[in-house]
Amino acid sequence: MTVTRADAQAVDLPETVWSAAVRTFENARTATLVCHVAPDGDALGSMLALARVLRSRGVAVTCTWGDEPWSVPTSYSWLPDIDTVVGPSCVDRAPDVMVVLVTARRDRLGVLGPVADAAGKLVIIDHHAHNSGLRGVQLIDPAAAATAVLVEELARRLVPSLDVDTATLLYVGLVTDTGSFQHPVTTPAVHAVAGRLLADGADPSVISRQLWGSRSFGFNTVLGAALSRLRLEEQAAAGRGWVWTWTTADDLTSAGLGLDEIEPVIDVVRATREADVAAVFKQDGDGSFRVSTRSRGATDVGAVCAALGGGGHKLAAGFTSYDDVETTASRLRAQLAHAPTP
């Protein structure tokens, strides 16, 4: 299928960059694909989709990410080809071709940062504005709705058509990073991408049911604990309001859940109409907190989280804190007081 610019610029990159990326894969025999630590739907969907495309061209592909300890997120265990991913210790330490997806920051590669440094050829595919300067071919467009949008266009330049599983993986990336097409990044061009993927066989009803239509009893108990601790600070974020809560490692242990399985808690918290910003602090087994933030539109939480060592988008971002709950809240509160608007 030919991608046309009549689609109102779903991606806006020079043709020379696309050509450089295609040339990188033309003679590749092996490739290592890496997404950011604690991968989300866009990271996993984009990585696994590109892996399928490259394998169809005869490339031997290894997919991984740099978490230690390493495990497949339970909430994405249903994805096509998720059983092909391996732990970071299994990858070539100096691959001929390496593709870094959904981040251009070396620190977001975890233990795989040195592998990116040693790769013979490096391709970075991302839609975040925060870039630590990884060398290589850079398919980076901060205006793109999801990295899956960039991978979709690259895929159509590499193969004549997409199969159902590839389309499904890309749709997962698109729908998760656009918040089910609710975020302001949802444009006519984004819907055009979605339409192409549906035409290729992606089933939105099945995907939505897998992503959002089924929660365990354990999730509900953790959600209840989080809501019991909920705090509203209406004067925070320069008067725009902030609502926040936290979960503990004991909450997750009692419920038999992993951190990735409670990410939807933020979607409940963010519905608080009195606050522009919402945050959930999720305690890991080592005592650290993975902090998720969301904005209704008046606060650039991407800039806030970047100042705290993390990153993301203007309306959805996160960071990791090694402080206790109150200290973490104090640091975030201070940054919100001077947060820019999107």
pLDDT digits (tens, 9 = 90+) for 220-262: 999 999 999 999 999 999 999 999 999 999 999 999 999 989 9
Binning pLDDT at 50, 70 and 90, where does residue 10 land?
A: confident
Percent of the chain with pLDDT over 70: 96
Tokens matching residue 175: 């729908």
Rounded to two decimals, what is the model's pTM? 0.88
Binning pLDDT at 50, 70 and 90, where does residue 155 land?
A: very high
Between 3 and 121, the higher pLDDT residue: 121
Q: Is the pLDDT of residue 58 over 60?
A: yes
Cβ atoms 81, 64 nearer than 8 A: no
Average pLDDT of 191-206? 97
Q: Is the pLDDT of residue 6 over 50?
A: no
Average pLDDT of 39-59? 97
Average pLDDT of 329-335? 98
pLDDT at 41: 96
pLDDT at 133: 66
For the chain, what is the radius of gyration of the CA atoms? 20
pLDDT at 104: 87
Average pLDDT of 62-68? 96
Three state DSSP letters for the chain: CCCCHHHCCCCCCCHHHHHHHHHHHHCCCEEEEEECCCCCHHHHHHHHHHHHHHHHCCCEEEEEECCCCCCCCHHHCCCCCHHHCCCHHHCCCCCCEEEEECCECHHHHHHHHHHHHHCCEEEEEECCCCECCCCCEEEECCCCCCHHHHHHHHHHHHCCCCCHHHHHHHHHHHHHHCCCCCCCCCCHHHHHHHHHHHHCCCCHHHHHHHHHCCCCHHHHHHHHHHHHCCEEECCCCCCCCEEEEEECHHHHHHHCCCHHHHCCHHHHHCCCCCCCEEEEEEECCCCCEEEEEEECCCCCHHHHHHHCCCEECCCEEEEEECCCHHHHHHHHHHHHCCCCCC
Q: List the domains of the chain with CATH numbers.
A: 5-211 (3.90.1640.10), 218-336 (3.10.310.30)
